């Protein structure tokens, strides 16, 4: 019995040892795997950190200059990061001590990340049940400020830590502290301690007293909330807490602390500070161009986000931009004076150099100081009849010629056999001719003709061209894809003025749409080239050159008809072409077209998408803006020889009924006409229609 008991005990002991050994092995494996994962994560974030130019940390914050194509100054960006940088010797010692005491007491002992501080913050936050204390060191804050790292995410925090370690390897502690104190935000538009000293106390940072220095250091954690301009009592409380911390760390004596705590620094008025700021700093003014440049720069040079000190050369023409902006204000004000009611009108205009895609003007609205939303680039509104030239050019590729007869009668189900729904578009003049030349249907913007022309081309061909031209989803699209609808032929598809201008530029470039751009090159403060525009590439070649040439000639005629209707004329418009567009209930008015060099699209409407007061046809509301803008562009020198036919074009006698070569019977029936046709599009057959 005793032997059996001993064997049982020994067996259980052996089992426990095996379980313990297994458990230890699992722990070791987990530890090794965790270490490998951690090493991999750190290696990944070190690689991300390497993408940031560490030199930027030490650069003096300064605004970036934006120049137009002529070298004229458009304005400044990155002005919010600009202060009055000073050397360490120009900062009072008590100020540097106060900042270290309040923000990072172990600054001179850690290597960018204070792991003891991280643990302390984690414990206190856990006890409080909320985010009550942060653990960012001065170096981590400098990384965040230098590279505009945003968001309270784990990804941002880890990246910030790795960049902080990189900063510590490249700069001394005193350099890091100086960089930080020149960048830190201190409320009411103040960047850096020199601006704060001048703003709050009217003196230099080198001349600050101990209480003044402690007050500035106390502001850092909540610049607007602790600003003495906004809440002097809170500012005093933070000053006293900073002094207490300096005393605990042995930076100041008990006597100095006791004396300073009782003082109440004299804070000057906020009005004096704002007046000083207006007089001595480069303020950014509201501008659609500057906002567009800043957004694009963040996209193409993310590592320089907000850093400043750059010179950005753009394709914009400031003279044209200002003139077009003035034209918009004048025309919209005049329209509203004569047509009252409805929301305020807005407009978006893009003017591009067709051969390169260079954007010369980009008017995002009526007044950038009233609304910063850029309607030239960001709206996606139905383009209406502006789409019709692309529908017609698709039909030209299918054999239709401009003089061929097309029915203008009302649409029936037989006209669109693939569409089962009830749909019958109307013509704006309520006239439905039995037969009209295709070009006349375009000139008079007959919807019924456009639908039949679209059907002659085929829905898929039209849709493909619109995709290649950069237009958005059709109005019948859903999240799961597009529902085919013939309203596409009439412009039930979204677009912006910039996309529309780029598309119309294809009529000047034998069918190739150039990718639009406006940043030519960017250089830094040392004149080192950071980026330059590559040679322009075609974004799409959806249109063949012969059909494009024919449509270009047609749009010259369409434009002349619009001029006759409007009564406008100019010595510069001999080679203007374009098309108006109006959407249902007069919600959107468009005009898009080209000169011999430029393409331009104008949209007018309101941000609410409500009907525009008055019969707001594109030809009445958008066209005058387009006409005056393009005329002004010509006056500024945007003229050249018109583009030539891509191939030999010949006068050909055609039959309006069949579209083939006319015969004597066609001529006798009054159906023959002469058209200039590119050689590759000349029909090869005689008309065989019985007359």
Question: Which residues sit opposite 519 in a β-bridge?
Answer: 314
**How far is it, in rounded angstroms, from Cα 47 to Cα 443?**
59
Region 650-674: mean pLDDT is 96
Q: What is the pLDDT of residue 690?
A: 83
Q: How is residue 521 annotated by DSSP?
A: E
Q: Does residue 479 have a pLDDT over 50?
A: no
Please write the tens of the pLDDT for every residue from 78-95: 877 677 889 999 999 999
8-state DSSP, 267: P
Kindly report, residue by residue over 238-294, the tens digit of the pLDDT.
Answer: 999 999 999 999 999 999 999 999 999 999 999 998 888 777 666 677 899 999 999
Q: Give rounded-to-5 percent helix, strand, coil for the chain.
A: 50, 15, 40
Res. 131: pLDDT tops 90: no
CB-based burial label for 604 (10 Å; 0-12, 13-18, 19+) = buried
CA distance 374 to 260: 52
Place of tokens 């990246």: 159
Write down the pLDDT at residue 559: 96
pLDDT: is 615 or 7 the higher one?
615
Sheet with 519-523, side-by-side order of all strands = 73-77, 64-67, 311-314, 519-523, 529-532
Give 587-602 pLDDT, tens digit per residue.
999 999 999 999 999 9
Confidence of residue 540 (pLDDT cuts 50, 70, 90): confident
Token pair recorded at residue 156: 């941002």
- 134 or 97: which carries more pLDDT confidence? 97
CA 148 from chain centre, in angstroms, equals: 18
β-strands 477-478, 512-514 pairing: unpaired
Output b/e per residue, 313-328; b: 16+ Cβ within 10 A. bbbbbbbbbebbbebb
> Can you list the positions of beta strands (E) in 420-497?
436-437, 477-478, 481-482, 494-495
Among 61-65, 129-133, 663-667, the range with the most confident prediction by mean pLDDT is: 663-667
Q: Token pair 């301690």 is at which residue? A: 193
pLDDT at res. 473: 59
The pLDDT value given to residue 265 = 96
Instruction: With cut-offs at 50, 70 and 90, classify the pLDDT of residue 134.
Output: low
Would you place residue 346 in the very low, low, confident or very high pLDDT band (cuts 50, 70, 90)? very high
Residue for token pair 């001719």:
433
Q: Residue 13, exposed/middle/buried by CB under 10 A (0-12, 13-18, 19+)? A: exposed
Identify the pLDDT of residue 438.
Answer: 96
**Which pLDDT score, from 0 to 100, does residue 36 have?**
61
pLDDT tens, position by position, 202-230: 999 999 999 999 999 999 999 989 999 99
- Find out whether 488 and 466 touch, Cβ atoms under 8 Å: yes
- Whether the Cβ atoms of residue 687 and residue 661 lie closer than 8 Å to each other: yes
Residue labelled with tokens 């040392």: 526
Identify the pLDDT of residue 29: 67
Q: And the tokens for 457?
A: 């081309």
- Predicted pLDDT at 478: 42
Cβ partners under 8 Å of residue 39, min gap 6: none
406 alpha-carbon distance from chain centroid: 42
Tell me what the mean pLDDT of segment 446-454 comes to: 97
With tokens 């003139």, the residue in question is 323
Residues 4-40: pLDDT tens digits? 545 554 555 676 777 777 767 767 667 666 666 556 6
Residue 150: per-residue pLDDT: 78
User: Alpha carbon of 83 to those of 188, 196, 468: distances in Å?
Assistant: 12, 9, 47
Provide the phi-psi class of 114: left if phi over 0, else alpha when psi is between -120 and 50, else beta.
Answer: beta
Examine the pLDDT at 356 and tell me if it is beyond 50. Answer: yes
Distances (CA, A) of 365 to 344, 384, 571: 11, 20, 28
Torsion of CA 74, 75, 78, 81, to 10 degrees: 170
pLDDT recorded at residue 58: 84
Q: What pLDDT is attached to residue 252?
A: 96
Q: Are 179 and 58 in contact (CB under 8 A)?
A: yes
Nearest of 143, 177, 180, 170 to residue 158 by alpha carbon? 143
- For a pLDDT cut of 90, what percent of the chain falls above it? 70
Query: What pLDDT, in 10s, does the model give residues 364-401?
Result: 999 998 899 999 999 999 999 999 999 999 999 999 99
pTM: 0.76
Q: What is the mean pLDDT of residues 338-367?
A: 95
Contacts of 149 (CB under 8 A, 6+ apart): 143, 156, 159, 160, 163
Nearest of 684, 677, 683 to residue 647 by alpha carbon: 677
Whole-angstrom Cα distance, residue 593 to residue 572? 14
pLDDT of res. 49: 73
Please check the confidence at residue 59 and state whether its pLDDT lies above 80: no
User: Are the C-beta atoms of 167 and 112 separated by less than 8 Å?
Assistant: yes
Q: Given this model, what pLDDT does residue 132 score?
A: 45
Tokens linked to 203: 């003196």
The pLDDT value given to residue 279: 73
**339-357 burial, b if ≥16 CB within 10 A, otherwise e?**
beebeebbbbbbbbbbbbb
H/E stretch holding 667 reads helix 664-668
Reported confidence tier of residue 350, pLDDT bands at 50, 70, 90: very high
Q: pLDDT value at position 2?
A: 55
Give the whole-angstrom CA distance, residue 372 versus residue 374: 6
Q: Report the distance separating Cα 374 and Cα 366, nearest Å.
A: 10
The mean of the pLDDT values for the chain is 89
Q: How confident is the model at residue 539 (pLDDT cuts 50, 70, 90)?
A: confident
Find where tokens 């600050």 sit. Answer: 208
The pairing of beta strand 64-67 with beta strand 73-77:
antiparallel
């Amino acid at each position: 019995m005793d032997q059996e008991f001993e064997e049982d005990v020994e067996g259980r002991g052996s089992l426990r040892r095996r379980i313990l050994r297994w458990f230890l092995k699992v722990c070791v494996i987990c530890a090794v795997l965790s270490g490998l994962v951690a090493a991999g994560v750190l290696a990944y974030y070190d690689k991300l950190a390497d993408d940031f130019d560490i030199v930027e940390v030490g650069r003096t914050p300064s605004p970036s200059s934006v120049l137009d194509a002529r070298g004229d100054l458009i304005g400044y960006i990155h002005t919010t990061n600009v202060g009055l940088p000073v050397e360490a010797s120009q900062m009072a010692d008590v100020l540097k001590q106060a900042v270290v005491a309040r923000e990072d007491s172990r600054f001179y002992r850690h290597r960018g990340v204070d792991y003891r501080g991280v643990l302390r913050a984690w414990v206190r936050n856990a006890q409080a049940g909320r985010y009550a204390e942060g653990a960012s060191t001065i170096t981590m804050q400098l990384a965040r400020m230098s590279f505009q790292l945003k968001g309270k995410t784990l990804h941002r925090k880890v990246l910030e830590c790795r960049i902080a370690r990189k900063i510590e390897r490249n700069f001394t502690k005193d350099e890091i502290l100086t960089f930080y104190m020149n960048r830190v935000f201190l409320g009411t538009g103040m960047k850096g301690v020199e601006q704060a000293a001048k703003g709050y106390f009217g003196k230099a940072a080198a001349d600050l007293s101990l209480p003044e220095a402690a007050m500035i250091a106390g502001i850092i954690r909540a610049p607007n909330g602790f600003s003495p301009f906004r809440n002097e009592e809170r500012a005093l409380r933070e000053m006293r807490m900073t002094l207490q911390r300096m005393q605990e760390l042995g930076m100041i004596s008990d006597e100095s602390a006791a004396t300073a705590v009782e003082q109440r620094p004299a804070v000057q008025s906020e009005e004096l500070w704002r007046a000083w700021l207006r007089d001595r700093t480069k303020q950014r003014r509201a501008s659609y161009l500057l906002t567009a440049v800043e957004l694009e720069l963040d996209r193409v040079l993310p590592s320089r986000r907000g850093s400043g000190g750059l010179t950005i050369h753009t394709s914009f023409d400031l003279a044209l931009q200002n003139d077009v902006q003035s034209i918009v204000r004048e025309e919209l004000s005049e329209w509203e004076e004569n047509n009252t009611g409805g929301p305020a009108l807005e407009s978006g205009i893009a003017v591009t150099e067709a051969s390169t895609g260079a954007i010369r003007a980009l008017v995002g609205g009526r007044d950038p100081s009233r609304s910063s939303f850029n309607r030239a680039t960001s709206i996606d509104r139905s383009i209406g009849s502006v789409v019709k030239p692309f529908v017609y050019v698709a039909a030209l590729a299918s054999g239709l010629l401009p003089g061929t007869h097309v029915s203008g009668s009302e649409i029936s189900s037989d006209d669109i056999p693939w569409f089962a729904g009830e749909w019958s578009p109307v013509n704006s003049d309520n006239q439905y001719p039995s037969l009209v030349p295709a070009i006349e249907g375009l000139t008079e913007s007959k919807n019924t003709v456009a639908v039949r022309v679209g059907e002659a081309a085929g829905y898929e061909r039209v849709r493909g061209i619109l995709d290649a031209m950069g237009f958005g989803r059709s109005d019948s699209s859903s999240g799961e894809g597009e529902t085919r609808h013939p309203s596409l032929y009439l412009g039930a598809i979204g677009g912006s003025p910039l996309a529309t201008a780029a598309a119309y530029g294809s009529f000047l470039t034998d069918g190739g749409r150039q990718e639009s751009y406006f940043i030519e090159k960017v250089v830094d403060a040392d004149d080192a080239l950071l980026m330059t525009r590559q040679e322009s590439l075609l974004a799409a070649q959806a249109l063949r050159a012969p059909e494009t040439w024919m449509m270009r000639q047609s749009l010259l005629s369409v434009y002349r008809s619009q001029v006759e209707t409007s009564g406008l004329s100019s010595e510069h418009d001999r080679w203007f072409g374009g098309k108006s567009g109006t959407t249902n209930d007069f919600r959107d008015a468009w005009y898009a077209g080209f000169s011999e060099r430029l393409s331009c699209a104008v949209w007018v409407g309101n941000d609410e998408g409500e009907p525009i007061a008055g019969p707001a046809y594109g030809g009445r509301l958008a066209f005058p803006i387009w006409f005056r803008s393009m005329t002004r562009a010509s006056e500024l020198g945007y003229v050249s020889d018109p583009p030539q036919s891509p191939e030999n074009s010949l006068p050909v006698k055609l039959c309006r009924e069949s579209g083939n070569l006319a015969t004597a019977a066609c001529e006798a029936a009054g159906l023959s006409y002469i058209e200039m046709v590119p050689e590759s599009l000349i029909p090869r057959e005689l008309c065989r229609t019985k007359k």
